Amino acid sequence: MEGETIFSGGDRTRVTVQCIIAGRASGTVWFDDVSVAEVVYEQEPKALPGDSKRGEQIFFNHPVAGCVRCHAVAGKGGVTRPALDGIASRKDEAYIVESLLSPNAKTAEGFKLAVSPMPPVGLILKGQELADVKAYLLTLKAGN
């Protein structure tokens, strides 16, 4: 089995990587070829015009970004993380972009975590996809 995870180290200059079997699994497991590599990515969703319909598709269907594994919109999706209904009324565009690019920079109210489990979406989505997701999130106004 192969696994890969992407995280943002924020301002840290050192990280500790622990390989464990999660939960109550028992038995023996061997890990090999564990490595940490820096990923360089586009910083900004630039001035690309986003398409909110495509953004919605990405939000609900993108296999890797998996927004709905964690977030719900209109009752669809994960419930353990902040639901994004009304996000565009609660937060401004800059905050939303920041949440996508460097999840550790700001932590959503009520979710105090040392390192955010939210993947830096900028590593997973291409510039246009990121612009589309941003456009979609900006349609999520309170009362919709």
The site for ligand HEC (CB under 6 A) is made up of 59, 65-67, 69-71, 81-82, 84, 87, 91, 96, 99-100, 103, 107-108, 111, 116-119, 121, 133, 137
Q: Closer CB to ligand HEC, residue 3 or residue 27?
A: 3
> 105 is written with which tokens?
């920079």
The dihedral through the CA atoms of 103, 109, 115, 118 has a sign that is: negative
| 32/90 with CB nearer ligand HEC | 90
Query: In the complex, what is the shortest distance from the CB of residue 97 to ligand HEC, in angstroms, rounded to a whole number?
Result: 9
Longest dimension (CA), the chain: 51
Length of the chain: 144
Give the nearest distance from C-beta 14 to ligand HEC in angstroms.
21
**For residues 132 and 102, what is the distance between their CA atoms, to the nearest angstrom?**
17
Residue nearest to ligand HEC as judged by C-beta position: 67
Nearer to ligand HEC, 26 or 68 (CB): 68
User: What is the Cα–Cα distance from 50 to 58, expressed in whole angstroms?
Assistant: 12
Nearer to ligand HEC, 27 or 143 (CB): 143
Count CB atoms within 10 A of the CB of residue 31. Answer: 10
Least distance between ligand HEC and beta carbon 4 (Å): 14
* CA 121 vs CA 8, 30, 47, 68: distances in Å: 10, 30, 17, 13
Residue 32 or 100 with smaller CB distance to ligand HEC: 100
Q: How far is the CB of 140 from ligand HEC (least distance, A)?
A: 9
